[in-house]
Structure 1
Amino acid sequence: MKKKRHIKSAKSMPVGTRIFTYICLLWALIVALVPLIWLILSSLKEDPLARPGFQLPESIYLNGYISTFRDLHVLRYFGNSMFVAGVSVIISVVMISMSAYVVARMEFKGKTLVSILLYSTMFIPATALTYPVYNLINNLSLYDTRGALILIYSCSGIAISFFVIKNYYDNIPRDLEEAARIDGCGYVRTWVKVIFPIARPGIMTAAVLAFLNNWNEYYWASLVLITREKLTVPSLLSTFTTAFNTNYNGLFSAMVVIILPPVLLYCIFSKFFVEALSGGAVKG
């Protein structure tokens, strides 16, 4: 029934609005797919500079993919990225989802100030935090460890996750919490038994966004890790470039391999994005 209503509303739009909407969607599709197609074509060329752009390769060249798995042992770096990104996401999402619940549902002094401070972190560039974070990592004896990245990633992107989860909490009827309190549930049990199951799409959306950001992060990974065996996949790409030469075929092949996990992750959890954007089951 919902699908039929969506189709009906689309057909009921004025012709000019519908055409403009289709043009915008087509443009967004082109912007999203053109770089991906260019990357895949370049990874199949023996020398991407000899046949640049969208020229088809003379023959399919797969040595870049073979060397990525055989020589670089890319699965090891996949494991590093998966471990660092996964642990940091669990820590940050649990921490932020509970703090967002406090800000969204409870009244206390300084509530507005807390929200402003959390949102203000969105406008602080990573380069401005380089010295204090680098100094903190050294003082904690975490330099060149995965724990350093987990600590940094757990505290990064707080504003986005807080914004997504808090807005979802705001749409949940307070009657559900009041009913849980009548049944004898405290704040923690109310969050676990009532709020979390309903807000799961919003929390999962924040978790996926945080994971993608941590998976693709390069600046901190290249700054605090120097041992090759501990590198994450984005920092691995720097190994294809030397002072005298760049292996473009290997670089493009590795980039294609690296972007596959985020794409698969989004395909698996896309329903949570749809539910979070549409309000999920909390409407009405």
Structure 2
Amino acid sequence: MRKNGQKVSKNRMKKDSKATRIVTVICLCWAAFVALVPLVWLLLSSFKKDPMARPGFMLPESIYLEGYISTFRDLHVMRYFGNSLLISFVSVVISIVMISMSAYVVARLDFKGKKLVNVMLYSTMFIPATALTYPVYNLVNKLHLYDTRGALILIYSCSGLAVSFFVIKNYYMNIPKEMEDAARIDGCGYVKTWQKVIFPMARPGIMTAGVLAFLNNWNEYYWASLVLIDREKLTVPALLSTFTTSFRTNYNGLFSAMVVIILPPVILYCVFSKFFVEALSGGAVKG
């Protein structure tokens, strides 16, 4: 009787696991479909001479590359790539250094007002950028940073802190306390413990937060269009507005430029995908 009962339970477990796998595969296929449809539509449209004449997923009559050629030849898109790369990279370095150190204090140390600090940081996730327009704009003007790359670096360094803080702090909390205690016994203070022990072990989580912040800064349009006026200093998202005028929109050029602009984030994610998987799967550390 017991053997029969065990067989029945094993069969049920196998059926449940198969059903779970089927549902998982269906959900993943649907998610991939939803994610790829806009990209395929954009790519097809970029090869059409007049995307509005053959909209949607209609194949182009002939491959039209003038949009890509004009993006590099006439718009000098690499200049704007350089602006975006410089602003995004510098702001990510500044914000990640600040957040990784502050997250260490919150995750590993006990002090008065710890819960208040957490609440204040997480509350910034719910504040829209438009609500901060006047104070930030006023601050940039008072610092004489208007229409400079430094203004965007300042804004980007202080935006999106909550997400990076959440990722890094959770990774810190998964690091065994014994590693920190061993460093203290060897004579390391708080700074050296963070620098020599915690920071290297939390590298996947920190890299994930850095990549997320970089992608957010690369795709940001609101502050870039508000703070920068000089065309030579524009970032790539702000560049897209030049394809639309009051009388005409160059859809072929617009779609071609969009394809070129989304390539760096895709390549960046492919290079650092292993850090995403390791950090977002829990950040387990072997002791």
**TM-score, reference length from structure 2:** 0.94
Query: Which stretch of the first structure deviates more once superposed, 216-225 or 274-283?
Result: 274-283
How far, CA to CA, are the matches of 2:99 and 2:15 in structure 1? 41
Q: SS at 1:14's partner residue? A: helix
The offset of 1:191, in angstroms, is 0.7
Partner of 2:280: 277
**In 2, distance between residues paired with 1:42 and 1:278?**
37
1:237 to 230, 235, 240: 240
Letter in 2 for 1:148: A
* Partner Cα separation in structure 2 for residue 48 and residue 281 of structure 1: 48
Q: Deviations over 1:17-64 (max 9, x none)?
A: 222111100100001100000000000000000000000000000000
One-letter code aligned to 2:277: V
Is 1:82 aligned to residue 89 of structure 2?
no
Alpha-carbon distance in 1 for matches of 2:76, 2:70: 8
Contact 2:96 2:209 in 1 (8 A): yes
Where does residue 42 of structure 2 map in the other structure? 39
Q: Which residue of 1 aligns with 2:142?
A: 139
Selected match of 2:193 from 190, 200, 207: 190
Q: 1:150 aligns with which of 143, 149, 153?
A: 153
- What is the CA-CA distance between 1:135 and the residue it aligns to? 0.5
Tell me the CA shift for residue 16 of structure 1.
2.2
Is structure 2 residue 76 aligned with structure 1 residue 73? yes
Superposition pairs for residues 43-192 of structure 1, below 5 Å? 43-192=46-195
Question: Out of 241, 265, 273, which is 1:262 matched to?
Answer: 265
Q: Deviations over 1:242-273 (max 9, x none)?
A: 00000000000000000000000001111101
1:216-231 mapped onto 2 (5 Å cutoff): 216-231=219-234
Map of 1:15 onto structure 2: 18
CA radius of gyration, larger in: 2
Contact residue 202 and residue 276 of structure 1 kept, 8 A? yes
Preserved CA contact (<8 Å) 1:44 1:62: yes
Q: Judging changes above 3 Å, is the alpha-carbon distance between structure 1 residues 163 and 12 closer, same or farther for their aligned structure 2 residues?
A: farther
**Amino-acid identity (%):** 81
In the other structure, the counterpart of 2:33 is 30
Contact (CA 8 Å) 2:167, 2:209: kept in 1 or not? Answer: yes
Measure, in 2, the Cα distance between the counterparts of 1:66 and 1:43.
Answer: 12
Contact 2:228–2:234 (CA under 8 A) maintained in structure 1: yes
- The ranges of structure 1 where at least 4 consecutive aligned residues each deviate by more than 3 angstroms after the TM superposition are none
**Take 1:235 and 1:27, find their aligned partners in 2: how far apart are those partners?**
32
Assess if the C-alpha contact under 8 Å between 2:174 and 2:283 holds in 1. Answer: no
Equivalence for 1:8: none
The CA distance in 2 between the partners of 1:281 and 1:15, in whole Å, is 27
Give yes or no for contact 2:122–2:162 (8 Å, CA) kept in 1.
Answer: yes
| AA of the residue aligned to 1:259 | I
Q: Which residue in 2 is equivalent to 1:6?
A: none
- The answer on whether the counterparts of 1:171 and 1:283 sit within 8 Å (CA) in structure 2 is no
| Residue matched to 1:4 | none
Question: Gapped runs of 5+ residues in structure 1?
Answer: 1-10
Contact 1:198 1:281 in 2 (8 A): no
Q: Matches of 2:162 and 2:265 in 1, distance apart?
A: 21
Q: Is the 8 A contact 1:216 1:234 kept in 2?
A: yes
- The one-letter amino acid of 1:124's match is I
1:154-174 Cα distance to aligned partner (Å, 9 max, x none): 000000000000000010001
Of 201, 204, 222, the residue aligned with 1:201 is 204
Contact 2:84–2:235 (CA<8 Å) still a contact in 1? yes
Structure 1 counterpart of 2:158, which letter?
A: C
Partner amino acid, structure 2, of 1:256: V
CA contact (8 A) 1:64 1:250 kept: yes
Tell me if structure 1 keeps the 8 A contact 2:183–2:197.
yes
Matched residue pairs, number?
A: 275
